[in-house]
Structure 1
Amino acid sequence: MLITLLIIAVTCIVSFMALNNGRLMEDLILWPPAIEKKKEYHRLVTYGLIHADFGHLLFNMITLFFFGRVMEGFYADRLGKTGFLLFYIGALVVSILPTFLKNRHNASYRSLGASGAVSAVLFAFILLAPWARIVVFVLPMPAIIYAVLYVAYSIWMDRHGRDNVNHSAHLWGAAYGIAFTVLIRPEVISHFLSQLAQPRF
């Protein structure tokens, strides 16, 4: 789980630095005009290294720790030692692209946080172990049940919410996590379906 710990360490360090340095925050955050006009494409990745506050960072990094350490081994088997890092960076880019395209002329729009990439990791894990028990706000539930509730909530909030959370990135991250995993190991579909047919509550 070396790569997972490395991602967490870098994200925590950069997030803490940015929370105490407004200039650094502005240089790393996803701000569409900077990408559209100044070609600062690094922002499609660096936005995931900064967070709005400590709670935002803590939730994402705890989730990444528990599920990333499982998925890191999975991707390493197929893609080598850096497989999980490639997956994670791809998740950052793919999860934010629809948001960037939608807001590319919106100078007042900004987005930050690793939630889209963390969603990719979580949903890739759910493909492997849909009935694994996870704890959501102290409430234990099967991973697949959480996935259904998460997707439904994110779709509703993306359309109607006003909480300044980029729910679109969560959804695209989840879709990327599933698609990437199936692409590199198609047999995971039959595994998922067989697991789904054997519910364990």
Structure 2
Amino acid sequence: MFDHTTLIIIITVIVSLLAWQNKALFNRLIFYPPAIANGQWDRFVTHGFIHADSMHLLFNMFTLYFFGRAIEGLYQQFLGGYGFVIFYVLAIIVAMIPSYIKNKNNASYLSLGASGGVSAVLFAFILIRPWETLYLFAIVPIPAILFAVAYVAYSIYADKRGGSNINHMAHLWGGAFGVIATIVLQPQIVPHFFTALLSPSF
């Protein structure tokens, strides 16, 4: 029996592979505001299960596997057996709402990838274990809380600069959702966070 994190990864990999082989399927699943305006609201979810290329897919799924399995139990405890799946799918949706509002009349806007959901998982983990060592690019060790600060700052900077195919704001809003949802479900995580923050362990 797979844990739900692994199940999400398997589904995402299969859907991404199928979409790479079938352009019509790829175009049907990608986030495209004019299609959403015509009633295809499912694209708020489906875009999170396709990726631009193998590296995009690998990075998101590697991150999800490492951090999702570490926090999955928390959401199952408060939301039931499929709590983590609910949290993850809601994160994908919420992360794209600001982009949709900004680009709902932009016929050339497209977006895809699980980054909104993955960012939510990552930031929920950071809230719980702020001094855990993360490995940037799987090589450079960095405390989770410092990574979070740098991640937010870079996302804001990159979004304002523009000129990239990466939806940096979806990353940021996904992370914000992960933090807020975790606090709503378990308010005591706030004093835990600050206690842990003031007691670094390396």
Where in structure 1 are there 5+ consecutive unaligned residues?
none
The aligned counterpart of 1:17 is: 18
Letter in 2 for 1:152: A
Distance between the aligned counterparts of 1:84 and 1:167, measured in 2?
23
Q: Deviations over 1:9-68 (max 9, x none)?
A: 0000000110111100000000000011x1100000000000000000000000000000
After TM superposition, the score normalised by the length of structure 1 is 0.98
Distance between the aligned counterparts of 2:118 and 2:19, measured in 1?
20
The aligned counterpart of 1:45 is: 45
Distance between the aligned counterparts of 1:57 and 1:39, measured in 2?
27
- Matched residue pairs, number? 200
The aligned counterpart of 1:146 is: 147
Deviation at 1:79, TM superposition (A): 1.4
Q: Deviations over 1:100-124 (max 9, x none)?
A: 1111111110000000110000000
**Equivalence map 1:68-107=2 (5 Å):** 68-107=68-107
SS of the aligned residue for 1:140 comes to strand
Q: Does 1:189 align with 2:190?
A: yes
SS of the aligned residue for 2:164 comes to coil
Distance between the aligned counterparts of 1:74 and 1:161, measured in 2?
36
Q: Does 1:133 align with 2:133?
A: yes
Indicate the percent of aligned positions where both proteins have the same amino acid: 52
The aligned counterpart of 2:165 is: 164
Distance between the aligned counterparts of 2:181 and 2:25, measured in 1?
32
Where in structure 2 are there 5+ consecutive unaligned residues?
none
Deviation at 1:161, TM superposition (A): 3.1
Letter in 2 for 1:193: F
Distance between the aligned counterparts of 1:191 and 1:67, measured in 2?
19
- Residues 74-83 or 44-53, more deviating: 74-83
Deviation at 1:126, TM superposition (A): 0.4
Deviation at 1:80, TM superposition (A): 1.3
Distance between the aligned counterparts of 2:88 and 2:56, measured in 1?
18
The aligned counterpart of 1:121 is: 121
